[in-house]
C-alpha cells in the first residue's frame, strides 16, 4: 500500500467531512499516548514503542499546527510499521498530508472559499492569494505551506495543472518549514 492508501484506511475512524480532521479517535484506536517534552534530539517528534507503551513524544515549544502535523506523521509511522513497512520521512509526510487534508474536503472548502473571495472582490474588499492560503490553513489547522502544497497536488487554482505549481511556488508569500532532519 502507498502512504496515501494507509491514510485513507484511517478515514473510518474519524469524521473527514469537516475541518479540522480530529486525530483523537485515531490516537485512541491505536492506544497511542502523546507526551510533550522540553527537548528532543534534532527532531520535533519521535515515536517510542515498547512492550508497555506506545508514545509519541513531541516538543512542547512548537506551535499547534506543527504539533498536529508531527502527530499525524508519527501515526503514519506507527501504522506503516505495524504493516511491516519501512517508511521514509517523505512517506510519513504524505500520510500526514492525506490524513489532515483529505482531498474531497480540500476541494469542497477551496471552492467555497474561492466563491467567498470572488464575492468579496465584487463588493470592493481586497482578497489575495495569501488570504486564500491563510483561510484554508486556519480551517484545517495546518501550516500555510502544507495547504499550499496540497492545493498544488490537487491541481487547484488558476492555471493549475499536473506540472504547474500555483500556490507553493511564490517566494515570500508562504513561510517554509525547516527541512526534516
The model's confidence at residue 155, banded by pLDDT at 50, 70 and 90, is confident
Measure the CA angle with vertex 74, ends 138 and 25; round to 5°. Answer: 70
Q: What's the sign of the alpha-carbon dihedral 115, 118, 123, 129? A: positive
Which grid coordinates are listed for 70?
508531527
pLDDT at 181: 31
Q: Indicate whether 101 pLDDT > 90.
A: yes
Dihedral angle over CA of 107, 161, 95, 24, nearest 10: -20
% of the chain exceeding 90 in pLDDT: 54
The model's confidence at residue 131, banded by pLDDT at 50, 70 and 90, is confident
Q: Indicate whether 174 pLDDT > 50.
A: no
Domains of the chain with bracketed CATH: 3-100 (1.10.10.2910), 102-181 (no CATH)
Predicted structure pTM score: 0.83
Query: d(Cα 44, Cα 66) in Å, to the nearest integer?
Result: 9
Q: Which residue, among 18, 17, 19, 16, has the nearest Cα to 137 in the 3D structure? A: 19
The model's confidence at residue 159, banded by pLDDT at 50, 70 and 90, is low
Tell me the per-residue pLDDT of 43-70, one tens digit each, with 9 for 90 and over.
889 999 988 899 999 999 999 999 999 9
The model's confidence at residue 73, banded by pLDDT at 50, 70 and 90, is very high
Using CA atoms, how far residue 132 sits from 12, 49, 72, 156, in Å, is 29, 39, 23, 12
Amino acid at each position: 500500500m502507498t502512504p496515501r492508501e494507509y491514510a485513507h484506511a484511517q478515514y473510518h475512524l474519524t469524521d473527514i467531512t469537516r475541518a479540522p480532521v480530529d486525530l483523537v479517535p485515531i490516537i485512541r484506536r491505536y492506544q497511542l499516548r502523546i507526551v510533550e517534552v522540553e527537548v528532543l534530539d534534532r527532531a520535533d517528534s519521535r515515536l517510542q514503542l515498547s512492550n508497555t507503551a506506545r508514545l509519541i513524544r513531541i516538543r512542547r515549544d512548537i506551535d499547534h499546527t506543527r504539533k498536529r502535523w508531527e502527530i499525524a506523521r508519527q501515526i503514519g509511522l506507527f501504522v506503516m510499521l505495524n504493516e511491516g513497512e519501512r517508511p521514509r520521512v517523505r512517506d510519513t509526510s504524505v500520510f500526514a498530508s492525506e490524513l489532515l487534508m483529505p482531498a474531497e474536503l480540500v476541494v469542497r472548502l477551496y471552492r467555497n472559499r474561492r466563491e467567498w473571495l470572488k464575492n468579496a472582490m465584487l463588493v470592493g474588499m481586497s482578497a489575495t492569494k495569501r488570504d486564500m492560503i491563510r483561510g484554508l490553513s486556519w480551517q484545517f489547522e495546518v501550516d500555510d505551506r502544507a495547504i499550499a502544497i496540497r492545493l498544488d497536488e490537487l491541481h487547484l487554482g488558476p492555471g493549475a495543472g499536473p506540472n504547474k505549481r500555483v500556490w507553493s511556488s511564490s517566494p515570500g508569500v508562504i513561510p517554509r518549514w525547516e527541512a526534516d532532519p
